Structures are given as C-alpha cells and as structure tokens.
Chain A
Amino acid sequence: QVQLVESGGGVVQPGGSLRLSCAASGFTFSSYGMHWVRQAPGKGLEWVAFIRYDGSNKYYADSVKGRFTISRDNSKNTLYLQMNSLRAEDTAVYYCAKDLRVTIFGVVITGAFDYWGQGTLVTVSS
C-alpha cells in the first residue's frame, strides 16, 4: 500500500533553515509528481510546491518562492523541501502528497492529491 512518511520538522529561529524529507513506498515513485502542502495551526490548507516525476519542472506558491526549494531523489524514493529564511508565518504542519494520475476513456487526469503523509510540524519561533 502507498505510504508517505515525512520527517525533519522541529523548532527553528526566524531566519533559520530546515530540510524536510518524505520517504515514499508502495508505488513507483519515479513515475509521479509530488507536492508539499502546509496547514498553519487552526487554519486551512495551503499548497506550497510541486515537482514533476523526473524533477524537470518545479513550481512554488508566491509565499515561499525564492526561499523554499523542492527536490527529489528517485533512487532513494524520497522527496525533499529545503526551507531557508524561515518566518513565523511558515509555522505549520507540512504534508507531502502524491499527484493523482488516472486514465479515463483515454484521457489522463492529474492534479489531485490522492495520498498524503501524516505531516511534520515546523515551528518558527525565537
């Protein structure tokens, strides 16, 4: 069965850095795009970043562009999020999520998040 397990969260001071990891199993990791989504305490969901299956393209929310970097190692079935210049407003639970890819009547449908990890908490505080 599909499993996504995040790690690397913790407490960091404003301006600091942190790297999150997401270990994937139960599917062919190298065939699927992957996302990071976050949720601040008591707030809604915010999409953070997306990387294509082969790492060829990466996309970021405006709120993290230039500070966060998404990457992947397909040989290790692992997704990463390097977070630099952290701010208090980056405090959240960070989820990794697998991009859905299904074919219906010959049409490939992608873009939803069909599997999620359990999340890892990042707290930015002095």
Chain B
Amino acid sequence: DIQMTQSPSSLSASVGDRVTITCRASQSISSYLNWYQQKPGKAPKLLIYAASSLQSGVPSRFSGSGSGTDFTLTISSLQPEDFATYYCQQSYSTLRTFGQGTKLEIK
C-alpha cells in the first residue's frame, strides 16, 4: 500500500496567517493527490483534487501544489472558519490511503 505522511501533525496559527501543510507519498503518485477539510462531528469536505484543482465552491485562498511524492496545501490568509483538521489522500492506487491528518488550531 502507498503510505501518506503529513507534516506537521498539528499547527497553531492566527487569523490572517499564511499556512502550509505538507504531504509526502511513499512512492510516486504523479498528481493523484486530494485534500480534505474536516470539522468536529462533520463529514470531510473535498478542497483540492488532482493536486492543484480547486473543488467547486471552495474559496480561492486554498491552493494545492506538487507532483510525484511531495505535495503542499496552502491557505493564503487564514479565516476563523478554516480552523479544522486537514487530510491528504492518494488516488493513484485503487487502494486509496489517507494521511494521518493535520490539526490546525487557533494561536
């Protein structure tokens, strides 16, 4: 199976900050990388698919980049509603796998 590793596991930031979360795959996955946001008690929400394509309805402050094994999710200017847990997920293999998550907290 393809292992996905996110860093950091947790992050404290302030409203207005620029934040970057990293995801690394155990083998090359081309651009088959997706990002999700999850708030407590809610289902995850798709933010970015195919490494850099913004899902419909997602604010443009979210962006994704990378290919091969290294990927990043960037939030350009944190808003109060962005404090949540973020997951990466690979879709290169039919056996999908997620990263362990990055919890973004208010500083």
Identify which of residues 88-107 in chain B touch chain A, using a CB-to-CB cut-off of 8 Å: 89, 91-92, 94-101
Residues in B with CB closer than 8 Å to A44 are: 87, 98-101
A38-51 vs B, CB cutoff 8 Å, 1 = contact: the mask equals 00000011110010
* Shortest beta-carbon distance from A108 to chain B in Å: 11
Interface size of A in residues (CB-CB distance below 8 Å): 24
Closest A residue to B99 by beta carbon equals A44
| B49 contacts chain A at the CB level, 8 A cutoff | yes
Q: Give 26 pairs: A residue, B residue, CB < 8 Å, sorted on A.
A: A44-B100, A44-B101, A45-B36, A45-B38, A45-B87, A45-B98, A47-B95, A47-B97, A59-B94, A61-B95, A95-B44, A100-B46, A102-B49, A102-B53, A104-B50, A104-B53, A109-B50, A111-B34, A112-B34, A112-B49, A112-B55, A112-B89, A113-B44, A116-B43, A116-B44, A116-B45
